[in-house]
Every structure is written in structure tokens, then in C-alpha cells.
Structure 1
């Protein structure tokens, strides 16, 4: 199954993002338990915070549908979402 690297670039509304963080993380936890989220976490480098998610899905259409259900998407704290299909060659996500 294809793996996708999703890079979120967060907007300036840190308060709204922090208030919604528990729901965002619960959404990710559900996807992790389903085997869709392979790894995720914040990108803390300045000047623009963001997040990186490694997701497994049948295709880009499925990824887009999943991301639309992220609580962060519904409150508008994501300024940019970059989705790229990724082919892991080495490591725990490689598909030999």
C-alpha cells in the first residue's frame, strides 16, 4: 500500500491550535490503531511550526478524505498541506 508524507504548515493562531490539540491527537490515535498512521509528530523548527504525518492509504483520494476529517482542518489552523507519495527504501516502513 502506498505511503504518503503529509507536511502541515500551521497558521498564526496558536491558541486555537492548542485548544484543539487533544481532538487532533485522538483523531491520529484512531488512525494509528487502524494502521493508517505510521508515524506523526510536530515540526518544531522556526520560524514556521508544522507537523509531519506518514500515512498509508490506497491512493491520494483516500488521503485527502482522511485529512479533511482532521479537527485542525475544521478550525482552519493549517495554512498549507503538502502531500507527497513516498517510497521508503530502508527502514521500518520499507515495502520490500
Structure 2
């Protein structure tokens, strides 16, 4: 497995994101239980609204498939995203 970093940039529709947040988080938690989602969380207020996800997958195509099923993506709340292979050198991945 390879680790990938995903950066989400959200749209400006924060009310819709608030509405979808429970199903979005439930989806991400389902990936935690399979070992595919290593960590996730939103960014603070010092930039555009978005989030960071650390994903374990065989390929970036597999990551894309996981993202495509995220309720935030399905409902158009992710304006853009970026995937990069992440080579962790030391430390623990929080859960």
C-alpha cells in the first residue's frame, strides 16, 4: 500500500456542507474501519475552506474512486482536490 495526501478545497456553500457533514463523516469513518483512511480533518480559518485526508491505497486511481463516493464530492461541495503520494518518514498517524 502507498500513502496519499488529499487536499480538498470546498465551495462557498457552508450551509450545505453543514447539512451533509454527518453523512460525510460517516463515510470517512467507514474507510477508517477498512484501514484505507489514516487520518482526516478540516483546515483552520487561515485560508480557504478545505480539508486534509491521508489515505492508504494501491494507486491514485483507487484514491479517486474512494473520493468519488464521498457525499461532499457527490453533492458538489468539493470545488477541487489534489492527490499526492506521501512518504511518511517518522511519527505516528493519529486515528
With the shorter chain as reference, the TM-score category is: over 0.9
Give the structure-2-normalised TM-score.
0.93
Q: Cα RMSD between the aligned structures?
A: 1.0
Number of residue-to-residue matches in the alignment: 93
1:12-58 CA distance string (max 9 Å, x none): 00000110000000000000010001010011233411100000001
In structure 1, stretches of 5+ residues that fail to align are none
- Do the aligned partners of residues 88 and 47 (structure 1) sit closer, same or farther apart at CA in structure 2, a change above 3 Å counting? closer
Give the structure-1-normalised TM-score.
0.92
**Separation in 1, partners of 2:37, 2:81:** 16
Structure 1 consecutive aligned stretches of length 4 or more whose deviation exceeds 3 Å: none
Classify the secondary structure of the residue corresponding to 1:64: helix
